Amino acid sequence: MRNLLNFLSKYNNLLVFILLQIIAIYLLSTANDYHNTQMVKGIRAMTIGIEKKVSNARTYFHLHEISRIMAAENSSLRTRLERLSGETEKLFFSVTDTVYNQQYTFTHAEVINNSVNRQKNFLTIDRGRQQGISPDMAVIAGDNIVGIIVGCSDNYSVAMSLLNLDFRVSARLKSTGYFGSMTWEGSDPSHAVLSEIPQHVTFGIGDTVETTGYSTIFPEGIIIGTVSGFEKTGGDFYRIGVSLSTDFRRLRHVTVVGNLRKEEQLELENQYQ
């Protein structure tokens, strides 16, 4: 009680001023229709502004959950689209053929561990054997390349990142169709090198580099990056610098791609190798 009295004694002038202001505003707004209308409009505008800021704050704090849901829906839509594509190519199918002529499956996952500063980088995702993941599946982010699954437990998997000296992928210039081998040189996490492109091929800075689909791991047309520079080597080929489209430092949501026809293709190819 004593503290309250001390507070009132210390700030009595301010409290009286605020009280008089409130009374003056009340009298002004109730005695005149114009001022009353303006007062209501002002309060309404202030309320709307506060509600909008609160809504924006809530949206900001839920961005992670929204991103996770959107990534999962994207993977689901990819799988459904692949199934529909298979149906259009196959007029007759068995009722037991649950995936029709589908070739690829898509599973959403989140990156829970990642490295970019080593010469052999790996990343860990929160999906494993129980979610249908197995080694030699492709990992992408949106339409961009990330890496290859190399090991699985029941609920987790480890993928070799493109930022790994042991990583190799068949890549081509989208504008010409000429393909070569894509590798990472172990230093810059935003650049890689495309080799084995003949010197008679015409291309330019900014041309898109994508996967060829020649392996059983990556589908055709997964974006790797764009041409950032090139030079002629001692042989008959270019050494092409590629600016990677994936920002590995901010990697969070990925999609694991499984090839349902991989075993069939490998079995046939092995008969002639």
The confidence score (pLDDT) of residue 84 equals 55
**Encoded tokens for 148:** 């290859």
Q: Which DSSP symbol is given to 46?
A: H
Q: What is the pLDDT of residues 159-216, one digit of tens each?
A: 999 999 999 999 999 999 999 999 999 999 999 999 999 999 999 999 999 999 898 9
Domains assigned to the chain: 2-61 (no CATH), 103-273 (2.40.10.340)
Q: What is the pLDDT of residues 65-106, one digit of tens each?
A: 556 556 555 655 665 565 555 444 444 333 334 445 678 999
Cα separation, 225 vs 60, in Å, equals 30
Where helices occur in the chain by DSSP H, the ranges are 2-10, 12-31, 33-61, 63-89, 262-270
